[in-house]
Amino acid sequence: MQVRDLLLGGTLCAVVAGVGLVGLRAQPAERVSGRTMLGLVLRQINTTGTFMMATAHPDDENNGVLALLSKGEGIRTTLVTATRGDGGQNELGSELFDALAVLRTEELLAAHRLDGAEQYFTRAVDFGYSFSRDETFEKWGREEILGDFVRMIRTIRPDVIAGMSPDGDGGGQHHQASAVLVHEAYAAAADPSRFPEQLAEGLRLWQARKFYFSTGFGFGRGGRGGRGGPGGGGAAAGGVRLTTIDVGRFDPLLGRTYAEIGSHARSMHKCQGMSPLVMLPGPASARYRLIETTIAGQADVPERTLFDGVDTSIEGLARFAGPQPPRDLLVELAVLSGHAAAALQAFGGGAGPAERAAVLAGLGAVRNLRGRLATLGLSDDARFEIDFRLEQKERQFEEAVLLAHQLRLEVLADDGVVIAEQPVTVTAQVANYGETAVAVRQIRFAGFARVNLTCGADIVVADAVYQCESAMRLPATLPTTDIHWKRLPDAARYRFEPDVSFGLPFRPTPFRATFELDFASGRIAIERPIVYRHGSDIFAGEKRMELQVVPRFAVEVAPKIAIIPLGALAARDVRVMVRHGGREPATAAVTLELPAGWQATPASAILEFTREDEAKTVRFLVRPPGGVAAGEYRIGATVASEGETFDRGYQVVEYPHIGHRHLVHESDIVMKVIDVALEPGLRVGYVDGVGDEVAPAIEQLGAQLEHITADQLAYGDLSGFDVIVTGVRAYERNPDLRANN
């Protein structure tokens, strides 16, 4: 299906990597590549630290700190956001509630493509502004969301956790509530009596080393160094010790300060009106207050970083084996650490052969150690903790091998919006821009009707490109692509579908390719999502998207809500648009499911489709019965074709800065019969706002509504209107309104 017929904006794919029970990981796609990306991966290889930031909403995070830790220090950096921001505003368009949650989730992923963090969520719903913690706890379900934070800590296993400030009355109490819960979760995650059902599932207890509260939103200007300035421990009013993080540091690998990177990442929250201007170079800092630590004496000394006192070295993994670790473990960790350090040193010196040798040796060393852990006499807990981190090292070494050999992998489909049983051609490429040959052992494809589909083996010499095309077919039974979180009817909380690992932003795509590549002294297996690329938005340029599965017939209705004044019962116009997703000609019958006594003209309609993407609209005139009572009445639209019935459509959520996502919804209309009466002949002038659906509602009440133009605002006579209404954020987004009023 051609994406250009569906777009609201543009797309940029967010990659979600494979997931395990206790090692789940949503890997952000990086904007950088090549040598820069290799340098970032080598920084990751040389550390084992993990950081978790916890916030209430998208845009609450400190992106400068995330960038510093992830890209600057190589720390595994995660963000756990309590809600998806579905109760907030939208300055871009009409997406609200679940659609806004999709948009804001995608904006977080867009931010993380810049700051490098991984993204996870709890089940909490943003139910709008909250005036108290107790209200927030009651609506969320205090124990349920506390359990979610505990689950994420036990899953991510962070060394350091930072929450928002629990103090203050402003800004809505979601912020303070999330801070209280994640602080409580810090201790509860290590308590076997708390949420034991998680332990029965396979999660394990975890005690983070340190817990901080932030002292405010974002990061600001400040003097460099010294007491209270970036890079030094300082004291706040009342003698509270603060750890001040210098995010104004320049990173020569990235060519920017972390504050610049962070402000660029923050600008991705465009639906919240974040400034698109990137912070200029200069001093910038973020301050945190140490609340708890298990490190003896750490609370009594000044700190320069959040990881002061935390051993993040590879050799430091031996601590999990107790005070007297096995000698073989110490030796092998030292060998692995040596290879990691040698790779980073070779990178700094621009020594390509030495880089390649070091990362291949490191890959062999980490695999050897993982294979030997069971023979070293370690306890089950020690073996788990060490292997949990070595598994991350193995993936990082595999990526480093790929980058050090200057290999580029592509796997592209010839369509991005697909239906069950549709044929799809997938093209896989291995481009070798390096100095040594690589063997493509095989490329395996997943998600299609036949299993173990592969591309054959070949040798890719230096400066050559290997390519293969495979004709695939989608399975006959294939679920429609949709969000995996569903709002509960009796709580401000989501239900996560059980087939998706807890906390992930979106359901991982089932359409994937695994590249098995052989080198002189090692083999790697790299998995990539199969994507579709297009240039449907000339201003956005090339965009990429994961494959989206849609029904053969998508059914859309308009309006979603219709209003009928009780004292002036009248027929309402209902439009049903049917989009054909198949490639073969088809016939479809469209009908409305009506409440008792209601009538529709025509009673049904037959539509003929001859091509893919073809859309046709049927106009029904729906009339309520005489004597109908005030209330809400549901009218559903259905399409029947070849023995199947279709009663759902999907909304595309997409803008140039985010990915292409679908939100599936029922194809129904709510008819609201309301006991309301307006003054006869009431004239309403309306100044349009952003994502504004107010004007049609006013018209349906019986008012004579006219949209006021820019010329009318400048010099028109507005005295003929009985009332003038300004739309949502009209003064903010309409310069003519501001200039002439």
690 plus 717 within the same structural domain: yes
Q: Are 437 and 461 in contact (CB under 8 A)?
A: yes
Domain endpoint, select from 269, 289, 309? 309
Query: Could you tell me how many residues make up the chain?
Result: 741
185 plus 237 within the same structural domain: yes
628 plus 710 within the same structural domain: no
Kindly indicate the confidence band of residue 350, based on its pLDDT and cuts at 50, 70 and 90. Answer: confident
pLDDT average, residue stretch 119-148: 95
255 plus 297 within the same structural domain: yes
One-letter amino acid at 392 equals Q
pLDDT over 60 at 229, yes or no: no
Kindly report, residue by residue over 453-471, the tens digit of the pLDDT: 788 889 999 999 999 999 9
User: For the domain that residue 608 is a member of, what is the CATH number?
Assistant: 2.60.40.10
Kindly indicate the confidence band of residue 451, based on its pLDDT and cuts at 50, 70 and 90. Answer: low
Residue listed under structure tokens 């867009």: 110
Evaluate whether residue 660 is within a structural domain.
Answer: yes
Question: What are the tokens at 128?
Answer: 């709008």
Secondary structure, 3-state, 287-322: EEEEEEECCCCHHHCCCCCCCCCCCCCCHHHHHHHC
Residue listed under structure tokens 């200069």: 282
Number of domains present in the structure of the chain: 5
Residue 549 pairs with which residues in a beta bridge? 418
pLDDT average, residue stretch 704-723: 95
Q: How high is the mean pLDDT of the chain?
A: 91
Q: Are 15 and 504 in contact (CB under 8 A)?
A: no
**Helices (H), strands (E): how many in the chain?**
15, 39
Question: What are the tokens at 256?
Answer: 């920017």
Per DSSP, the residues of 72-92 read IS--EEEEEES---TTS--SS
Domain endpoint, select from 648, 673, 698? 673
Kindly report, residue by residue over 539-571, the tens digit of the pLDDT: 888 999 999 999 999 999 999 999 999 988 889
184 plus 66 within the same structural domain: yes
305 plus 389 within the same structural domain: no
Kindly report, residue by residue over 211-224, the tens digit of the pLDDT: 999 997 655 554 33
pLDDT over 90 at 488, yes or no: yes
Kindly report, residue by residue over 351-385, the tens digit of the pLDDT: 899 999 999 999 999 999 999 999 999 999 999 99
pTM for the model: 0.91
Evaluate whether residue 18 is within a structural domain.
Answer: no
Evaluate whether residue 167 is within a structural domain.
Answer: yes
CB atoms within 10 A of CB 506: 22
Residue listed under structure tokens 């852990």: 373
Q: What is the pLDDT of residue 235?
A: 47
Range of the domain at 590: 553-673
Kindly report, residue by residue over 31-85, the tens digit of the pLDDT: 577 899 999 999 999 999 999 999 999 999 999 999 999 999 999 999 999 999 9
pLDDT average, residue stretch 403-425: 96
Q: What is the pLDDT of residue 741?
A: 80
Evaluate whether residue 39 is within a structural domain.
Answer: no
Residues above pLDDT 70, as percent of the chain: 92
pLDDT average, residue stretch 301-308: 96
Q: Are 178 and 162 in contact (CB under 8 A)?
A: no
Evaluate whether residue 19 is within a structural domain.
Answer: no
pLDDT average, residue stretch 114-130: 96
Evaluate whether residue 45 is within a structural domain.
Answer: no
Q: Which helix (H) or strand (E) holds 608?
A: strand 604-609
Q: What is the pLDDT of residue 236?
A: 47
pLDDT average, residue stretch 603-627: 96
Question: What are the tokens at 514?
Answer: 């695994």
436 plus 559 within the same structural domain: no
234 plus 198 within the same structural domain: yes
Kindly report, residue by residue over 180-213, the tens digit of the pLDDT: 999 999 999 999 999 999 999 999 999 999 999 9
